[in-house]
Amino acid sequence: MGHRKRHAPKRGSLAYLPRGRAAHPVGKIKTWPSWIGPPTLLGFAGYKAGMTHVVLIEDHEHSPFYGQERVMAVTVLDTPPLFVCGMRTYESTPYGLSVIGESWFSDLNSDLSRVFPLPKDYNTSVTLNMLKESIETTAEVRAIVHTQPILSGVTRRKPHLFEVKIGGGEGIQEQFDYANSILGKEIRATDILKNGQFVDTGSISIGKGFQGPVKRWGIRILQDKSRGTKRGVGAIGPWKPHHMFYTVPRAGQLGYHQRTDYNKRILKIGEDGDEITPPGGFIRYGIIRGDYMIIQGSITGHRKNLIKMRYAIRSPVNAPSEAPALSYIRR
């Protein structure tokens, strides 16, 4: 803006319009990366406990601080094991992926009845044989997993149910066999993720309600003698054309949007929550009792929100493959 003495561009990207409220309080993973290697789940999930800071040894060779200690802000996730309760196969059609069928584990957790009525006298082998018959037309295999919030610091019993794609292997048959091998088992973060790995996170941003254009877009407050209002735009558009452009800052919903954070580096995956939990627990979260994960930087979302992770879809090329050494973790 030329009338300002400092650089102050309009806050917010126009690529996210219209800025409406998210349809669901849990983020979505809409795209999965391609993975070359043994078959594995391409994602995980955990509850956001809070933030702290660590002192690490910089391991980027091109950094001016290479080999020196640096203080980094980190996010702590409570990552109890995921339970694989089912699997689902898809076929490719001109209109996208279409469901072929699904198979569920016969002995499901009773807490899952809070999500949907549990089937009675369910025969897993029958549904698995039906999926095997259509293996030639199968294009994608996904595992149906649910969280176990009772093992975390979240005060809820109802688990979150979602799908995770299975990637890798030499073909669909190997992915199908892997899904069958983990059916009815618990998957921990250490089984599919490692220290130093980059992941993408999907979550819902903190909601701030209905806000005006000053807070929503960062426009300038008008002078005192302005007519009508001071916290609005000077003009919403010209006489011609007789419509208002979408680029005009207007009031509306701020926050509570679906957002994806790319290339978040895992600094540490631990098994004992006492190593990271501060005295008295995390503020507005509580105590981490089991597995946890330390991720460099901030992650979109409020405390206790479910953060979904996937393998990085565009990971850095020259990034170190191992995690940096942590010399101090603030509790």
Q: CA dist 133 to 39, 100, 101, 130, Å?
A: 21, 11, 11, 5
What crossing angle do the helices spanning 124-133 and 172-182 adopt, rounded to 10°? 170
Question: Does 156 share its domain with 138?
Answer: yes
- Pair 176, 282 in one domain: no
- The torsion defined by the Cα of 276, 151, 194 and 172, in degrees rounded to 10, comes to -170
Q: Check whether residue 85 and residue 51 sit in a common domain.
A: no
Domain annotation covers residue 246: no
Say if residue 285 is in the same domain as residue 275. yes
Domain count, the chain: 3
Per-residue pLDDT of the chain (331 residues; tens, 9 = 90+): 456 667 767 777 888 888 889 999 999 999 999 999 999 999 999 999 999 999 999 999 999 999 999 999 999 999 999 999 999 999 999 999 999 999 999 999 999 999 999 988 888 999 999 999 999 999 999 999 999 999 999 999 999 999 999 999 999 999 999 999 999 999 999 999 999 999 999 999 999 999 999 999 988 899 998 888 999 998 899 999 999 999 899 999 999 999 999 999 999 999 999 999 999 999 999 999 999 999 999 999 999 999 999 999 999 988 898 999 999 999 8
In a domain, 245, yes or no: no
**Angle (nearest 5°) at CA 43 between 71 and 145:** 130
53 shares its domain with 67:
yes
Which pTM does this prediction carry?
0.91
Check whether residue 262 and residue 225 sit in a common domain.
no
Note the pLDDT of residue 22.
94
Phi/psi of residue 14, each to 5°?
-75, -10
Does residue 217 share a domain with residue 155? no
Copy the structure tokens of residue 89.
Answer: 């196969």
Query: Looking at the DSSP assignment, which residues form a beta bridge with residue 71?
Result: 55
For residues 292 and 274, give the distance between their C-alpha atoms in angstroms, rounded to a whole number: 10
**Residue finishing a domain among 154, 187, 220:** 187
Query: Encoding tokens for residue 70?
Result: 């640096």
Residue 111 lies in a domain: yes
Provide the residue range defining the domain that includes 109.
81-187
Largest CA distance in the chain: 77
